[in-house]
């Protein structure tokens, strides 16, 4: 069974083996975002003026969008490209569905 075809036995979803570099990069981005969200919570707890909080929320949204772009680019370069090379046209439908969900 090829790596892309492996399925998580607990939830029956596909899994993807990531390189250490890719995993570290994604986790670092998420850690920064997590820190930003904790900062926003502290701002609310400390009664910071609304516009300042809204600006920080906007920064978190931008960071999440950047995370999505990086993850999507890697997905297209690896998973989708490999599936297409192997003749799996369903990968295109899956990608279109993901893009539709991201663009809501």
**Distance between CA 102 and CA 89 in Å, rounded?**
21
Give pLDDT tens digits for 33-66.
Answer: 999 999 999 999 999 999 999 999 999 999 999 9
- 46: helix, coil or strand? coil
Q: Look at the alpha carbons of 12, 18, 20, 21 in this order and tell me if their dihedral is positive or negative.
A: negative
**Alpha helices of 1-104 — where are they, by DSSP H?**
20-45, 50-75, 81-85, 90-102
pLDDT level of residue 13 (50, 70, 90 thresholds): low
Residue 1: its pLDDT value, please? 41
**Distance between CA 66 and CA 60 in Å, rounded?**
10
Give pLDDT tens digits for 72-93.
Answer: 999 999 999 999 999 998 999 9
């Amino acid at each position: 069974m090829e790596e892309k075809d492996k399925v998580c036995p607990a939830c029956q979803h596909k899994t993807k083996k990531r390189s250490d570099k890719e995993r570290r990069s994604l986790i670092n981005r998420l850690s920064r975002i997590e820190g930003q969200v904790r900062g926003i919570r502290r701002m609310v707890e400390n009664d910071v003026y609304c516009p300042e909080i809204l600006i920080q929320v906007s920064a978190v949204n931008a960071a999440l969008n950047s995370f999505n772009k990086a993850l999507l680019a890697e997905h297209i370069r690896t998973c989708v490209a490999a599936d297409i090379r192997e003749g799996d046209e369903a990968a295109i439908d899956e990608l279109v569905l993901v893009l539709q969900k991201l663009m809501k």
